[in-house]
Amino acid sequence: MNFIEENYRNYILCEHLSGMPFDGIEDYKKFYEVGNSVLAARIMPDDKIEYVTWEYGCNRKGVMWGHYFGENFAAAKQDFAVRAGLIDSQKLFSDKQLSALHGACLFRLMNDMELPYEDEKELQTTVSRLEFLCPQLAEQPEPEAADENEFTEEV
């Protein structure tokens, strides 16, 4: 499902789901709930959708610790999955970590002249997957090839 289809579907859901049952957030519609975690959304005055995740308070008489994501539904879903315990946060990489992995893979591809063909293909696949997960990586300049003399010792 592309962004426009997903946004349209969520807009329709917001119009038909009942509001959160707490003062001040009645205009938020509950999309998902697992345990004490909830993902909700509301239609803003400019017709954009704002997403938020919360934790229920004591006896579910309110919500607290809201994480607001603006229009970023993907980030809200990921945060919800982590908060609800559906995904182990230790198994996720930050954008900074993805960038470091991307750079290391590119560096090896450019500098390992003895890299077996199978390993080269695997690294190229990994680079593609990293760029899919973090599109700004594809826009970064590639690391420079190491100078051949850089690693040799002078006697």
| pTM of the complete model beyond 0.85 | no
Q: Which amino acid is at 134?
A: C
- Select from 70, 73, 51 the least CA-distant residue to 2: 73
Q: Is 59 helix (H, G, I), strand (E, B) or coil?
A: helix
Burial (CB count <10 Å: 0-12, 13-18, 19+), residue 129: middle
Q: Is 19 helix (H, G, I), strand (E, B) or coil?
A: strand
**100-150 tens-digit pLDDT:** 999 999 999 999 999 999 999 999 999 999 988 888 888 866 656 556 555
- Domain parsing of the chain, residue ranges: 3-88, 95-148
Structure tokens at 59: 């006896």
Q: What is the chain's mean pLDDT, rounded?
A: 86
Tell me how far apart the alpha carbons of residues 28 and 40 are, in angstroms, rounded to a whole number: 6
